[in-house]
Every structure is written in structure tokens, then in C-alpha cells.
Amino acid sequence: NGQISVGLSINLREIVIDGIVLNNVKASIVIDGDAPVLLGQSVLERLGITEFDPDKRTLTIKMK
């Protein structure tokens, strides 16, 4: 939304999302916010095809 927040950038050695293992993931920790850990589009692209439903507030991952 264009809002500026104070945060910290980190590198996660490994994360697992529904059985999908990703290594060396860049993430941001927002000090003041509703979503304290943020993963960007580059991470979503590594998961496969993703679909976000804003009404249901769900993210669906379809394997490549």
C-alpha cells in the first residue's frame, strides 16, 4: 500500500511450506505491523503457480 515501516532483512536457511522445501530465502521482519514476517514475490515464484483470493484470504499453491 506504499506505507513505510521499520524492519529488518534476514536470510532463512530453509523453510518448508506444505512439504515444499526452499533454501536461502530472503525475508523481512516488520517491527510494527499486522504481518510481522514478509515473504516477497520471488519466494512465491519458487513455490509454483499461486492464486490469492482476497475475499477468502487464502493463498493456493499449484505445483509446477
Per-residue pLDDT reduced to its tens digit, 43-64: 888 888 888 899 998 988 887 6
Specify the pLDDT at position 11: 92
Q: What are 4-14's pLDDT values in tens digits? A: 777 888 899 99
CB under 8 A, 24+ apart: contacts of 3-7? 5/30, 5/31, 5/32, 5/33, 6/30, 6/31, 6/32, 7/31, 7/38
